[in-house]
Structure 1
Amino acid sequence: MDFYNNAGKMALGSRLRRLSEQITEDAGQVYQMYNVSLHPKWFPVFHALSQGQDKTITAIAEEIGHSHPSVSTIIREMVKQGIVTEKKDKQDGRKNVVCLSKKGKEVVSSIAPQYTDVTNAIEDALSQTRHDLWKAIEEWEFLLKQKSLLRRVQEQKKMRESRDVQIVDYNPAYQEAFKQLNEEWISKYFKMEAADHKALDNPQQNIIDPGGHILVALYNNEPVGVCALMKMDDPVYEYELVKMAVSPKAQGKNIGWLLGIAAIDKARSLGAKKLYLESNTILKPAINLYHKLGFQKVIGHTTPYERCNIQMELVIGI
């Protein structure tokens, strides 16, 4: 147990596997003690068929929560030992159905005492613990169904790495990064347009001097993301969120979200009531980010960009 205490919770899978192997080994000996010709890993399939209905492999897999290939392998092993048989479905000759053989049905008749003793043994063990393992497993299965362990680790990775991201104000040293990061994504999906060249070639003159702002995301002191607030001459919108770009090598670190939040906070500090943006629905991650930030689709504003097919706004003050 020292290994698991030293390794900590990151060894959860290994520890569960060890517990499972121990229980499976004991289960094999229990079957032998009751002269029941089953292998422990067959039990879910056997129990699903013990209700008396013929079932397809797909139906069994869905019922017990196993993969189709896993159930197919178990069925082949059980057929070889004479526990189940396969036959054509009477309703659909293209499908095979599985049912217990005569030998399998005899196991159903003889296994009841084993069921009783095993259930009582497990209940006795549970009564000696402070935590109900059965209920804990149910809780974990529910939680992991809502959000997998992989997804939870991905979120933790993103949170940890995002803490190393610093959002700073633009200065001329970041002009080349501002241009390159935007040209990279625009050229990948669309073509550079006149409005792009105007903003990117001279951001000081065309964004900052008219009253706008540019924010830069630094990761390990390297500029890996940018966005800008462009001052608008519009009765409804004071600022437009423009030129948001994140380097592909820095994606997955929550940088787009951090830039978006920083831009919204900057607009709010400037007294803006509404924030406007333009995009294209082919950029699904970007559109999802904007929705997550609270932007909603609007219609009817004129745009200088051919690629624009969606316009959005965010109400940030009243």
Structure 2
Amino acid sequence: MEFYDKVGKLAIGSRMRRLTELHMDQAGKVYEQYNVEMQPKWFPVFYSLCNGEEKTITQIAHEIGHSHPSVSTIVKEMTRKGIIEESPRKRGDARKNYVMLTEKGLSFDAPLQFQFMDVNSAIEKALAETQHNLWKAIAEWEFILEQRSLDKRVQDERKLRESKEIEIVDYDPKYQQAFRNLNEEWITTYFKMEEADYKSLDHAKEYILDKGGCIMFALDKGEPVGTCALIKMADYTYELAKMAVSPKAKGKGVGTLLGNAAVERAKLLGAKKLYLESNMILKPAISLYQKLGFKKVLGNPSPYERCNIQMELAL
């Protein structure tokens, strides 16, 4: 147990496997007490067939929540022991493999009824000795992992940790080339550079900054990995534009950080509305805008050929 004390919850899977192995070993001894030639891992399959029904491997797997390969392996093991056999009435159907309990398998039912009673009583008493109900805890753990898998939860934590290392800064002439490179990189990945792109990217100061807008950058250890701009359209409206994130920063939540920073900056600039233009093939970007609160609108004709969706956010 010293290993688990040192490692802690990182080893929860290993510890659950250890507990499973402990249960399986002791459950095997229980079957020996009742002279039943059964292995603990076979029980779910046996229980599925104990009423004499004929079932396919797929049906059994679905019923007991095991994988098809796992059930197939167990069925083969039980067949070798003479507990399961292929259904005689279904042998002609090559598309499906129906199985059923043999007479030997069905003979286990009587002794197992007493075993079930005794095991259930023993487990209830064991649970009563614990501070936490393991049965309920397992059900809760299964539920939350079904709602959001462990790998997704770890991914979220990684994004959160890495996002804390990202710094959002304002425009500086030394980042001018990065502003162009980041945007050109993502534009040419999906579309082509257009005249309006060259106008804003090559003359950012005149086209954006001097007209009351701003440009922000996301820095990862000092390196620009993302950018976005707020372009003043009218007294109380700004366009969220030129948002680009380097593929090197994928998964770090840079887009979200820039989007939130842009919304907050727009509020400070006195904006009452944010407007943007995008393309519906950019699903991650559209999803981000929706999370920020943007709604689809019918706007004025766009200077960009690639634009097929316009969105607004009331501030």
Structure-1-length-normalised TM-score: 0.94
Q: Equivalent residue of 1:224, what SS?
A: strand
Stretch moving more, 274-283 or 79-88:
79-88
Matches of residues 95-106 of structure 1 in structure 2 within 5 Å? Answer: 95-106=96-107
Per the alignment, residue 240 of structure 2 pairs with 241
Per the alignment, residue 169 of structure 1 pairs with 170
Q: Equivalent residue of 2:275, what SS?
A: strand
Aligned-partner residue type, residue 151 of structure 1: K
Aligned-partner residue type, residue 314 of structure 1: L
Per the alignment, residue 136 of structure 2 pairs with 135
Stretch moving more, 58-67 or 124-133:
58-67
Measured at CA, do residues 128 and 175 of structure 1 come closer, stay the same or move farther in structure 2, by a change above 3 Å? same
In structure 2, how many angstroms separate the alpha carbons of the residues matched to 1:91 and 1:149? Answer: 44
Aligned-partner residue type, residue 190 of structure 1: F
Per the alignment, residue 270 of structure 1 pairs with 269
Per the alignment, residue 54 of structure 2 pairs with 54
Gaps of 5+ in 1: none
In structure 1, how many angstroms separate the alpha carbons of the residues matched to 2:223 and 2:16? Answer: 42
The offset of 1:282, in angstroms, is 1.0
The offset of 1:91, in angstroms, is 11
Per the alignment, residue 189 of structure 1 pairs with 190
In structure 2, how many angstroms separate the alpha carbons of the residues matched to 1:180 and 1:92? Answer: 63
Aligned-partner residue type, residue 14 of structure 1: S
Q: Equivalent residue of 1:143, what SS?
A: helix
Q: Equivalent residue of 2:100, what SS?
A: strand
The offset of 1:93, in angstroms, is 6.1
Percent of aligned pairs sharing the same letter? 60
In structure 2, how many angstroms separate the alpha carbons of the residues matched to 1:310 and 1:92? Answer: 54
Q: Equivalent residue of 2:274, what SS?
A: strand
Aligned-partner residue type, residue 208 of structure 2: I
Q: Equivalent residue of 2:55, what SS?
A: coil
Gaps of 5+ in 2: none
Q: Per-residue displacement from partner, 1:84-103 (whole Å, max 9, x unpaired)?
A: 12236499763222221211
Q: Does 1:75 align with 2:79?
A: no
Q: CA RMSD in A?
A: 1.7
- Runs (4+) of structure 1 exceeding 4 A deviation are 88-93
Matches of residues 1-318 of structure 1 in structure 2 within 5 Å? Answer: 1-87=1-87, 89=90, 94-233=95-234, 238-316=237-315
Aligned-partner residue type, residue 293 of structure 2: G
Structure-2-length-normalised TM-score: 0.95
Q: Equivalent residue of 2:126, what SS?
A: helix
CA contact (8 A) 2:56 2:96 kept: yes
CA contact (8 A) 2:171 2:215 kept: yes
Measured at CA, do residues 51 and 269 of structure 1 come closer, stay the same or move farther in structure 2, by a change above 3 Å? farther
